[in-house]
Structure 1
Amino acid sequence: MSPVEFVHEFYPTFWWIPAGILAAALAIKLPSIIRLWRDPLMRAVGGLLLLACAVFVFVAPSTIGWVNRVTGVPNISAPWVYSLLTAFCSSCLLLIITWRNGLSDRSADTRRAMRRVTVGYAGVIVAIWVLFLLADVPEERLRDLDTYYANTPYAREMILLYLLAHTVAGMIINGLIWNWVRTDGLDAWLHAGLKFLGVGYALQLVFDAAKLTAVGARWAGRNLDWLSTAAAPPIACLSAVLVAVGFILPHAGQYLHDRWRVRLAHRELRPLYQLMKTVNGSGLPRVLRSTPELRLIRRETFIRDVLLPLTRCLDEELRGRSYAAALALGHPADRAKALAAAVTILDAVESRGLAREQCAGGPSDTTDLLREIGAVSRALRHEDTVREVRARATTPAADAPV
Structure 2
Amino acid sequence: MNDPNGVGFYVPGALLLLAGCLKLPALRRNPGDELLRSVCVLLFVAAAVFAVAAVPSIAAVNRVTGVANAAAPVVYTVLTAFSGANLVLVIRWSSGPDDARRAARWSRRCHAATVAVIVAINALFVLGDAPVERLTDLDTYYASTPYIREMIVLYLAAHTTTALLMTFLCTRWARLVRGPLRAGLVLIVIGYLLNLVYDALKFTAVGARWAGRDLDHLSWPIAPPVAAVSALLIGLGLVLPLLSQRLTDHLGLWRRYHRLQPAWRELRAATGRGIGPAGGRWTPIEVRVIQTESEIHDGILAVNPYLDPGLREAALHEALKTAPSADEAAAVADAAALAHAVVVWAGDAGGRAPTAAEHPAGRALLASPRTSAGLVRMSRALSGSEVVRAVREAALREAALREAALREDGGRPRSGGPGDAPGAEAGAQPSEASA
TM-score range, shorter chain: 0.7 to 0.9
Displacement of 1:171 in angstroms is 1.4
- TM-score where L is the length of structure 1: 0.78
Residues 168 and 337 of structure 1, relative CA distance in 2, 3 Å threshold: same
Aligned pairs (5 A) from 1:3-402: 7-8=1-2, 12-101=6-95, 105-106=100-101, 111=105, 113=106, 116-183=109-176, 193-249=184-240, 251-284=242-275, 286-288=277-279, 291-316=284-309, 318-319=311-312, 322=315, 332-333=324-325, 334-352=327-345, 353-354=347-348, 355-357=352-354, 361=358, 365-371=364-370, 372-382=374-384, 387=389
| Partners of 1:97 and 1:114 within 8 A in 2 | yes
Deviations 1:222-253 (A, max 9, x none): 54444333443333223223333444455554
**d(CA) in 2 for partners of 1:300 and 1:196?**
40
Deviations 1:349-373 (A, max 9, x none): 2232233239994696524142332
**d(CA) in 2 for partners of 1:38 and 1:210?**
41
- Aligned-partner residue type, residue 283 of structure 1: G
Displacement of 1:384 in angstroms is 7.9
Q: What RMSD over aligned residues (CA atoms) do the two structures have, in Å?
A: 3.8
Displacement of 1:319 in angstroms is 4.5
What SS class does the counterpart of residue 379 from structure 2 fall into? Answer: helix
Displacement of 1:346 in angstroms is 2.7
| Partners of 1:131 and 1:155 within 8 A in 2 | yes
- Aligned-partner residue type, residue 133 of structure 2: E
| 5+ long unaligned stretches in structure 1 | 1-6, 395-402
Displacement of 1:279 in angstroms is 3.1
- Aligned-partner residue type, residue 157 of structure 2: L
In the other structure, the counterpart of 2:401 is none
Residues 285 and 331 of structure 1, relative CA distance in 2, 3 Å threshold: closer
What SS class does the counterpart of residue 15 from structure 1 fall into? Answer: helix
Residues 359 and 276 of structure 1, relative CA distance in 2, 3 Å threshold: farther
- TM-score where L is the length of structure 2: 0.73
| Partners of 2:144 and 2:210 within 8 A in 1 | yes
Residues 309 and 116 of structure 1, relative CA distance in 2, 3 Å threshold: closer
Residues 232 and 245 of structure 1, relative CA distance in 2, 3 Å threshold: same
Paired positions, count:
383
What SS class does the counterpart of residue 75 from structure 2 fall into? Answer: helix
- Aligned-partner residue type, residue 339 of structure 2: L
**d(CA) in 1 for partners of 2:107 and 2:354?**
72
Displacement of 1:24 in angstroms is 1.2
Residues 275-284 or 380-389, more deviating:
380-389
- Aligned-partner residue type, residue 67 of structure 2: V
**d(CA) in 2 for partners of 1:195 and 1:251?**
15
What SS class does the counterpart of residue 354 from structure 2 fall into? Answer: helix
What SS class does the counterpart of residue 73 from structure 1 fall into? Answer: coil
| 5+ long unaligned stretches in structure 2 | 397-435
Deviations 1:165-185 (A, max 9, x none): 1101221233233334445xx
| Partners of 1:325 and 1:393 within 8 A in 2 | no
Displacement of 1:122 in angstroms is 3.3
| Partners of 1:322 and 1:392 within 8 A in 2 | no
| Partners of 2:257 and 2:288 within 8 A in 1 | yes
**d(CA) in 2 for partners of 1:278 and 1:315?**
19
What SS class does the counterpart of residue 169 from structure 1 fall into? Answer: helix
**d(CA) in 2 for partners of 1:315 and 1:101?**
51
Deviations 1:288-323 (A, max 9, x none): 486543432232122122223424434455545555
Residues 238 and 379 of structure 1, relative CA distance in 2, 3 Å threshold: farther
**d(CA) in 1 for partners of 2:123 and 2:292?**
65
**d(CA) in 1 for partners of 2:267 and 2:257?**
15
Residues 138 and 385 of structure 1, relative CA distance in 2, 3 Å threshold: farther
Residues 326 and 63 of structure 1, relative CA distance in 2, 3 Å threshold: same
Residues 272 and 64 of structure 1, relative CA distance in 2, 3 Å threshold: same
Displacement of 1:344 in angstroms is 3.8
- Aligned-partner residue type, residue 267 of structure 1: H
Residues 367 and 237 of structure 1, relative CA distance in 2, 3 Å threshold: farther
